[in-house]
Amino acid sequence: MIPLLLTLVAGPSRPAPKPRLVVVITVDQLRPDYLDRYRPQLKSGLAMLLKQGAVFTEVYHDHAVTETAPGHATILSGRWPAHTGVIRNFAGVQDSTTSLIGVTGIGASPARFRGTELFDWLKAAEPAARALSVSGKDRGAILPIGRAKEQVYWYVGGVFTTSRYYADSLPLWVRVFNGERVPFRAAGTQWTLFLPERDYPEPDSVPYENQGRDFVFPHRLPSDSGQAALAFIATPTMDSLTLAFALEGTRALRLGVRGTTDLLAVSLSTTDYIGHAYGPDSREIHDQVLRLDRYLGRFFEQLFVRYGGSNVLIVLTADHGVTPFPEHSRALGRSGAVRVTPDTLIQSVNAALDARAGGADWLVFETGMLMVPGRARLAAQGINVDSVIADVATRLRRLAGVGRVDRPADLAADSADPTVRRWRHQVPPDAGVELVVTLKPYSIWGVANLPIAMHGQPTDLDAHVPLIFWGQGVRRGVYGTRARTVDIAPTLARLLDLTPAEPLDGRPLTEVLP
Ligand SMILES: [Zn+2]
C-alpha cells in the first residue's frame, strides 16, 4: 500500500521546508505514452506520482542526439549538449585514463562533461551535502552528478562498481551488497507475465522481436551463473536490484539524516534494454512498465518509512523515448521506414583516405554526426577536406531513409524548424562535427546490423519524455505547458532555493512552485 500524502496540498503562502532527500529517477527510454496506455494497470509507485504529483505531459529533450549520455547530462545540469560537451553516447563517459575497481571493463568518468550541475549548487549552499548516484549503466550513474567526486556506482557483469576517478576501492556496504550475488543466483530463472495473459492486448509472438529469438514469454536467464549475471541487466529484476542498492546506499551513507539536503540519483536501465530488443509496442515493454510501477512503489514506501513522506522530493523523467521497429511501422503503412546504416559508405571513404594519407579512422560517424578529428593532419597532406565532406554529404543524401544533411554552420540561429533548433542545441562549435544527418520520420539508425528498435533522432518520438515532480511544496496537477528537460534543474534549484553557478539553457517551471 502506498500512503496517501494528502498533506501535500500545502497552503500557498508558507515556503515549504527543504526536503531531507531529493530523489531523481531517470527511467532509461520511458516514453510518456506508456503511462497513458497502461494507466488502469498502474497501482503503485508510478500511480502515486501520477495522482499526487505535478505531471507535465508535453516535455521534450530539445537536443538532436536523443541518446542516453546526452540526455542524462542535460537533466540535472539544465544545459544542452552544446554546452555540457556530452554529445555522444558511449564515448560520452568512456575514459581510458581511468579503470574500474574489481572488475575488467572500460573505464568511465565525467572528463568530457563541462560545467556544473544541481549537486554542485547544492554543495555550494550546504557544504556537508552528499550525493549517491546509481544505475545499470556508467553514463546513467555518472552524468546526473557532473564532475563531483561523489558516490557513483554502476553495474558491470554482476556487481556494482565505480571507477578510479571516484575511489581507490569499494566501500564495505558495496562489497557486502555485491557479495549477495543476486544476479548470479538468478541463473535459470524465468521472466513470466506479471498479470494474467488476458490483461495484455498486444501480441506476444512477433518474429522480428529480440533478433528473432526467444520472443515469446516466459524468458529464461542462462543456466550458467556468469552468463546469467551478464544477461541480468536486461531483465525487469535489474531495476529492483538497482533500487535495493540505492536504498542500501542511502542507509550506509546516512543520506538525509545529517541536517542537510542530500541527493539520490537513480537511473533505471532495464526499460531501455527491453525497448531496444522487443520495441515500444511489445508485450515485454508492457510487462516491464507494470513491474517498474510495483518496484517504485516498494522503493517509495521504504523511503517514506525512513524519512517521512514530507521530507522527500521526487522527480521522475527519462533520458529519451524510442521509435518503433521499422517492421512495425511498415505494417502500419509507413512504407518508407527503414534502418539506415552508412557504415559501408564511411568505410569506403576511410579506405580511400588511408591510401592517400596513411591508415586511420579519418571519418567518425555516430548517431547522425560526422566528425573528422584528424582534419588538420589530412589538410597538411594536401587533402581538400571540405570537398571530401561535400562528397560524403552527397552520398549520404542518396541513402534511403535520410531526410536531410546539414553542415552545423549552415543551421540558421533564427530557424523555426524544431529539427534545426535541436541540432543547434546539440553541437558545440569546437566539437569537430562536420555534418549532421537527420532521418525521415520512423526511419532509424542501424546499429551493427542488429535488427533492434532505436532512438537518437531529433523527433518527438525519441525526444518526448515524462516529467513528474512530487513532494512538499510542489503544486500538484496536470500541466500541458510545453517544456524541456533543461527546465528540470532550474526548477529544482528554485524548489531548493539554490543558485545555479552558471547561465542555464532552461527556465524554472513556475507552475509547480508554491
Ligand atoms: Zn538511454
Instruction: Kindly give the distance from the C-alpha atom of residue 88 to the centroid of ligand 1, in angstroms, as a whole number.
Output: 12
* pLDDT tens track for 425-465: 999 998 999 999 999 999 999 987 789 999 999 999 999 99
- Give CA torsion, residues 235, 240, 242, 245, to 10 deg: -140
Q: What's the sign of the alpha-carbon dihedral 44, 50, 54, 60?
A: positive
Three-class HEC string of 163-178: ECCCCCCCCHHHHHHH
Instruction: Kindly give the distance from the C-alpha atom of residue 14 to the centroid of ligand 1, in angstroms, as a whole number.
Output: 38
Instruction: Kindly give the distance from the C-alpha atom of residue 71 to the centroid of ligand 1, in angstroms, as a whole number.
Output: 7
* pLDDT tens track for 360-370: 889 999 999 99
Longest dimension (CA), the chain: 72
Q: Is the pLDDT of residue 15 over 70?
A: no
Q: Is the pLDDT of residue 225 over 80?
A: yes
Q: Is the pLDDT of residue 3 over 50?
A: no
Strand partners, 314: 23, 470
Instruction: Kindly give the distance from the C-alpha atom of residue 379 to the centroid of ligand 1, in angstroms, as a whole number.
Output: 37
Axis crossing angle, helix 118-125 with helix 488-495, rounded to the nearest 10: 20
How far, in whole angstroms, is CA 500 from its chain's centroid? 22
Strand order, beta sheet including 464-470? 159-161, 151-156, 131-135, 262-268, 21-27, 312-318, 464-470, 54-60, 477-484
**Residue 161 half-sphere exposure, CB side, CA atoms within 13 Å?**
20
Instruction: Kindly give the distance from the C-alpha atom of residue 318 to the centroid of ligand 1, in angstroms, as a whole number.
Output: 8
For the chain, give the mean pLDDT: 95
Distance, in Å, from the CA atom of 432 to the CA atom of 330, rounded to the nearest integer, reads: 36
Q: Residues 6 or more apart from 79 whose CB is under 8 A from it?
A: 115, 486, 504, 505, 506
Instruction: Kindly give the distance from the C-alpha atom of residue 50 to the centroid of ligand 1, in angstroms, as a whole number.
Output: 22
Instruction: Kindly give the distance from the C-alpha atom of residue 102 to the centroid of ligand 1, in angstroms, as a whole number.
Output: 25
Instruction: Kindly give the distance from the C-alpha atom of residue 7 to the centroid of ligand 1, in angstroms, as a whole number.
Output: 34
Going by the DSSP 8-state scheme, the letter that residue 100 receives in this structure is B
Instruction: Kindly give the distance from the C-alpha atom of residue 339 to the centroid of ligand 1, in angstroms, as a whole number.
Output: 19
Instruction: Kindly give the distance from the C-alpha atom of residue 25 to the centroid of ligand 1, in angstroms, as a whole number.
Output: 13
Instruction: Kindly give the distance from the C-alpha atom of residue 144 to the centroid of ligand 1, in angstroms, as a whole number.
Output: 13
* pLDDT tens track for 373-422: 999 999 999 999 999 999 999 999 999 999 999 999 999 888 999 999 99
Instruction: Kindly give the distance from the C-alpha atom of residue 512 to the centroid of ligand 1, in angstroms, as a whole number.
Output: 26
Instruction: Kindly give the distance from the C-alpha atom of residue 320 to the centroid of ligand 1, in angstroms, as a whole number.
Output: 6
Instruction: Kindly give the distance from the C-alpha atom of residue 477 to the centroid of ligand 1, in angstroms, as a whole number.
Output: 27
- The C-alpha cell at 219 is 524468458
State the CB neighbour count (10 A cutoff) for residue 484: 23
pLDDT band at 14; cut points 50, 70, 90 = low
Instruction: Kindly give the distance from the C-alpha atom of residue 13 to the centroid of ligand 1, in angstroms, as a whole number.
Output: 39
Mean pLDDT of 56-82: 98
Instruction: Kindly give the distance from the C-alpha atom of residue 268 to the centroid of ligand 1, in angstroms, as a whole number.
Output: 9
131: left (phi over 0), alpha (psi -120 to 50) or beta: beta
214: left (phi over 0), alpha (psi -120 to 50) or beta: left
> Where would I find the H helices in 194-267?
225-231, 236-252
Asked whether 316 and 55 are in contact (CB, 8 A), the reply is no
Q: Is the pLDDT of residue 13 over 60?
A: no
Instruction: Kindly give the distance from the C-alpha atom of residue 366 to the centroid of ligand 1, in angstroms, as a whole number.
Output: 15
Instruction: Kindly give the distance from the C-alpha atom of residue 44 to the centroid of ligand 1, in angstroms, as a whole number.
Output: 24
**Residue 289 half-sphere exposure, CB side, CA atoms within 13 Å?**
25
Pairing state of beta strands 444-445 and 312-318?
Answer: unpaired
Distance, in Å, from the CA atom of 1 to the CA atom of 313, rounded to the nearest integer, reads: 19
- Give CA torsion, residues 119, 123, 125, 126, to 10 deg: 120
- The C-alpha cell at 297 is 512503489
pLDDT band at 514; cut points 50, 70, 90 = confident
Mean pLDDT of 70-95: 97
Distance, in Å, from the CA atom of 449 to the CA atom of 432, rounded to the nearest integer, reads: 27
Instruction: Kindly give the distance from the C-alpha atom of residue 67 to the centroid of ligand 1, in angstroms, as a whole number.
Output: 6
Instruction: Kindly give the distance from the C-alpha atom of residue 270 to the centroid of ligand 1, in angstroms, as a whole number.
Output: 10
Q: What is the pTM of this model?
A: 0.95
Burial class (CB within 10 angstroms; exposed 0-12, middle 13-18, buried 19+) of 185: middle
Instruction: Kindly give the distance from the C-alpha atom of residue 319 to the centroid of ligand 1, in angstroms, as a whole number.
Output: 5
Selection from 137, 60, 136 nearest residue 457 by Cα: 60
* Cα three-residue angle 133-137-142, rounded to 5 degrees: 40
Instruction: Kindly give the distance from the C-alpha atom of residue 428 to the centroid of ligand 1, in angstroms, as a whole number.
Output: 21
Going by the DSSP 8-state scheme, the letter that residue 78 receives in this structure is -
- The rounded percent of the chain whose pLDDT value lies above 70 is 97
Mean pLDDT of 230-237: 98
What residues sit around ligand 1, an ion, with C-beta below 5 angstroms? 28, 68, 272, 319
